[in-house]
Copies of this chain bind each other. A is one copy, B any other.
């Protein structure tokens, strides 16, 4: 590659100062047409590509771009429905402000520091997990504005979370109200160690991922509180029934931990239905997981929601489009992305936002076939 031509070369060739040449490119209107043409001509002749952004950047200090950091590889941005929707929110704001968008992967712990320190951006959106303190610290040290999504690193940092626990509770309560008693849980990863399969009490207690832990807690809340709920009394009246209902212990339930990608979800759904074919309702911790349950059920000839009810979590676009459309806990995913990007662009003091969740009843939930509280 021949030595690149610089602004100075063009200026010299055109017989003007570098300052003037610079103006020709950044503010052409303030330079005399005659001179401008001469400079442009020289630029063309020398094959000058225009001001190099690298130089401009250093000078300007501002990059006009934000980076989104995930603890996964770059393909994750385009693979996971949830993250896609989130990114649509982020991208929308960047579009509005004419800002750029850089994707950064912090998968490799060793390289994460380097990646984060090299990103040419004005701020970060970090998709973090509980155990990722190191990542957070790295980001903080970089000294740029940042916002953390899905976990709250405490005051002093921007964060956006949802009430995972309340949402999960909503899901379980919905099923309980429908009369379900035999539940299976398809869980997101509990810790980032690649382990999947049946979850016991020990593992459950070791939850490193905040969302997983809180959703589990939310399910448990619903089971524990079931007997105290008015609708429950109304429906089942009797004291014994209520007691039995209250007696559902999450640690007695079949819980399968699965990776939240297509393959992992399919494997998890299969494992759950293999292990607990008697369940009438599945609580899936994400829509990806729930959709996999739908597929698995179909391939077993199980009709949803007649033979099996399924509730997802997140409400990704695919949920509403599924057949039947998925009942799920909706969180404002795109809004989350928008808000995160706005927090970066607008600056201001650290904010901690909690976005609302709500139950969206669609077509994958119904009363269990034998309507009595099951045995």
Contact = CB atoms under 8 A, between A and B. Distances in A.
A78 interface: yes
Contacts of A142: 49-50
A101 interface: yes
Q: How many copies of this chain are found per oligomer?
A: 2
Contacts of A54: 57-58, 61, 63, 120
Interface in A88-104: 88, 91-92, 94-95, 98, 100-104
Contact of A143 (B49, B77, B103): B49
B84 A78 contact: yes
Contact of A75 (B73, B91, B98, B323): B91
A120 B117 contact: no
B95 A64 contact: no
A79 B316 CA distance: 12
A30 interface: no
A153 B323 CA distance: 43
Contacts of A63: 54, 120
A40 to B, nearest CB: 12
A85 interface: yes
B95 A88 contact: no
A252 B358 CA distance: 50
Contact of A74 (B4, B77, B78, B91): B91
Given A100-B104, A102-B101, A118 B53 contact: yes
A78 B75 contact: no
A111 B99 CA distance: 11
A91 B73 contact: yes
Given A58-B55, A100-B103, A85 B78 contact: yes
A77 B68 CA distance: 14
Interface string A28-52: 0000000000000000000101110
Contacts of A117: 50-51, 53
A102 B64 CA distance: 12
A118 B98 CA distance: 12
A107 B104 CA distance: 23
A141 interface: yes
A85 B56 CA distance: 34
A364 interface: no
Nearest to A49: B143
A65 interface: yes
A105 interface: yes
A282 to B, nearest CB: 19
A168 interface: no
A47 B54 CA distance: 25
Contact of A323 (B53, B102, B115, B323): B323
B64 A118 contact: yes
Contacts of A120: 53-54, 57, 63, 65, 120
A119 interface: yes
Closest 6 CB pairs of A and B: A49-B143, A74-B91, A78-B84, A75-B91, A78-B87, A101-B103
12 contacts: A4-B143, A53-B117, A56-B118, A63-B120, A74-B91, A74-B101, A78-B84, A78-B88, A98-B115, A100-B104, A100-B115, A102-B103
Interface of A: 4, 47, 49-51, 53-58, 61, 63-65, 73-75, 77-79, 84-85, 87-88, 91-92, 94-95, 98, 100-105, 107, 111, 115, 117-120, 141-143, 323
